[in-house]
A and B are shown apart, each in its own frame.
Chain A
Amino acid sequence: MRIEIGPVTRIEGHLNVLTTIEDNTIVEAKCVGEMFRGFEMILKGRDPLDAQQITQRICGVCPYAHAIASSYAQEQAYGLQPPANGRILHNLIQGANHLYDYLLHFYQLAALDFVDITAVLKYQGKDASLVKVREWVKAELASGKKYPAAPFLPRQDGRYLEDTEANISAIKNYLEAMEMQIIGNQAAAIFGGKFPHATAIFPGGCTQEARIDLIAAYRSKIKKVRNFIHEKYLGDILAVAGAFPDYWQIGVSPGNMLSYGMLPLGPAPDSDRLMAGGVLMGNQMTPVDFDAITQDVGHSKYSSASGQSVRHSAITPAPHKKAGYSWIKAPRYHDQVMEVGPAARVLVDYHQSHNPQIRQLVDHFAGQAGIKPAQLNSVLGRHLSRGICAVVIADFLLAETERLEPGAPTMAELNIPAEAEGFGATEASRGALLHYLRLEDHKIATYECVVPTTWNSSPQDDQGRPGAMESALVGTKVADPQQQIEANRIIRSFDPCMACSVH
């Protein structure tokens, strides 16, 4: 039985998933990226300094990661090193963006698959915001409308959290998270200029000053977000995990993990990073080699050559291609399917015993949940990994503000060569993000982005091997094959961004 579960909502953009169901089990899944804009074609021939602006428009959810990756790539191409303050401001902007994104993902995007919003009707307390929501839901349900309480109803059938207290607490935190994500973004915008789409990020640093009043305002906002992470977010992840323990075994990808690491600890291009990059295959760790990345298009809607390296990428869209079922390409690392994202970020660092705080948090929470660290490769594992990243990043950002030298330069002077090339790699909230550019005669000759959801929501490669998310769906039992809330939970655990994946 073939059933489509798209359009999938509460993700970024346009995703369909074609499933084949036998005996209430998913035996095949195909992820279909349904939106294409052609960014690499738009970038070709442009001034290179347009790139950190234009690539932000690939994704309005994680634009700062694109600005940072583009800046790194240009810095390598120009032989440019930002002043210490400049790199720190890059970090403050990018890190705050991660915090907002984790909260938005867990509460606004993923939680409605687990939390029973109708539990608010049973609320007996006096909290003004919950009373307001309760009265609103009541009035909506009594209104006789065709679709009352939209956009929260209708919803998919399935088992939701049964504990009223836990539901009400999560709903309260859903509302508070809406405010926290604003505060996180306000912190980033202090130095970025605005969110979404920062104008102050450049290769070589940031145009905003390291002024003491700005630093104080930034710290105050990050502290608020950090408190929410510790007091509410981690607890809600564990509450969901406690009520849905099966999901430590559901949504498991083939298990190869790729992370580029993020938040460099100094201005030099080879600086150590807060979280280390690497490639984890089985128990084998290797450093990242960008030349090992190729992208197949046998099942993608392009007529250009399959298996191209990042350096030699070029696309020719072929919307009517019969074998192509997705606009997403199929990236592979040494020909292997990779998962990227929070679980990869945490596991790659953990396996190198690199950041002691990550080691301690993984051991602590794995012990508490009774899982092995490898089980971070699961629906709950991805949620928990985001929580771990949030804790580590929030602490780092506060420490990083102390390292700013008020009044010292934040921007290096730019001298752009006519011919050059560069790679820029960092972690977007959704995972490993790589930008590559090559200049000819002062213009962009090639620009290529290999983006987190390109890896995770990859279609089959030319050998017919499914991508990470497609694999993670296979074998899942679904109570209702038409709706498949179980599959929806798996998909959202990857936090797919379709605008990023195709661009």
Chain B
Amino acid sequence: MQRRMFLKMAATLVGAFGVTGLPLPVQAALKRLDPRTIPKLIYLQGLSCSGCSISLLQSTSTSPLEMITDYSQLVFHTDLSATSGQQAMALIDDYINGNAGDYFLALEGSIPAAMPEACIIGHRPIADIIAQAAKTMSGAVAVGTCACDGGIPAAEGNPTGAVGLAEFLATKKINKPLIQIPGCSVHPDWLWQTIVHLVRVGMPELVNGAPKLFFQRTVHEQCPRYHDFQQEIYAKKLGDKGCLFKLGCLGPVARGDCPTRGWNGGQTWCIDCNAPCIACTSPSFARQKSQPFYRLTELNSQESSR
């Protein structure tokens, strides 16, 4: 990515999520940016549950107040925007038609490629809106597993042909900067700290399109119960302590730093609650009917055959 493009992207994202909390030299540099020229962020939802939007509101690494007062570049978000109806649609159109300056697209949710009528905003299929935006946007962030890989709307048996943003852009032969941040829901830090990385050292190194900083290693590799795994101390039933692998824990195929980062202020996460990881960051999350989240039935039959 060119430096100019990078700076634009960084400025957009920082504008959206706030300056406070960044290193002082970076804050100072950002303050020199002319607010009239900082590109804007348009946050749209496809086949989504709003869980990622709600998760972003749970951020504690920047306070909600900072998110509001330093949110000036979030020109549209359906859950927060005061505007509504035709006025809102006119604003979105203004940007995606290239009449309101540079902007980045943030997409939550997947795109119903086989049934465009399954997601409509203001009479227009989300697929058409994104195809139009792709011509004018500086780049895009895929927020959450649905936007990255299709997620549950793309699970086996789905009627809409849901796909993620990368696949959608590829089929339209559109090549624009894209950062993918998976998770069902996304962890607020994964998005926020990606922005910090962008500002300090540039485009983050990506693993399968996602920031390596968070997604290089699997949950299993970093799991505080790795010792239990090595010692073969396995949970036998739900609610047990020990390694949850035999209950179906998908930590070995899930990339993410949940074990060290924690959720909701860092105080908790799935395995800490004795709940097997369901690999919500994985491209194959929930994809196959034949691959359930848990293996309780299997374990029971092993027990009874002993």
Contact = CB atoms under 8 A, between A and B. Distances in A.
A151 B55 contact: no
B132 interface: no
B83 A53 contact: no
B210 interface: no
Interface stretch (B3-11, B223-231, B266-274): B266-274
B274 A13 contact: no
A207 B68 CA distance: 36
Contacts of B159: 36, 38, 41, 317
A34 B121 contact: yes
A372 interface: no
Contact of B68 (A37, A148, A175, A499): A175
B87 A154 contact: yes
A361 interface: no
Interface stretch (A139-147, A246-254, A383-391, A425-433): A139-147
B157 interface: yes
A133 interface: yes
Nearest to B84: A9
Given A57-B49, A152-B82, A442-B297, A143 B35 contact: yes
Interface in A143-175: 143-156, 175
A199 B45 contact: no
A355 interface: no
Interface string B258-300: 0000011101111011111110100000100100111011001
A401 to B, nearest CB: 17
A153 B80 CA distance: 11
Contacts of A144: 36
B185 A196 contact: yes
A37 B153 contact: yes
A323 interface: no
B56 to A, nearest CB: 10
A49 B72 CA distance: 43
A327 B94 CA distance: 28
Nearest to A192: B273
A194 B50 contact: no
A38 B160 contact: yes
Given A7-B122, A60-B185, A193-B268, A146 B94 contact: yes
B53 interface: yes
A186 interface: yes
B75 A151 contact: yes
Contacts of A199: 270, 273, 275-278
Contact of B81 (A9, A58, A139): A9
Contacts of B120: 14, 16, 34-35
A189 B267 contact: yes
Given A194-B268, A200-B270, 7 more contacts: A5-B85, A7-B89, A133-B68, A191-B273, A195-B264, A197-B51, A413-B237
Interface of B: 35-36, 40, 45, 47-55, 57-60, 63-65, 67-89, 91, 94, 100-101, 112, 115, 117-122, 151-153, 155-160, 162, 184-185, 237-239, 263-265, 267-270, 272-278, 280, 286, 289, 292-294, 296-297, 300
Per CB-CB distance, the 9 closest pairs between chain A and chain B, nearest first, are: A60-B51, A178-B64, A47-B292, A411-B239, A319-B117, A194-B263, A199-B275, A155-B82, A189-B264
18 contacts: A4-B86, A6-B122, A9-B82, A16-B120, A38-B158, A47-B293, A49-B293, A63-B49, A140-B72, A151-B77, A151-B81, A154-B83, A182-B59, A207-B273, A411-B237, A411-B239, A414-B238, A483-B85
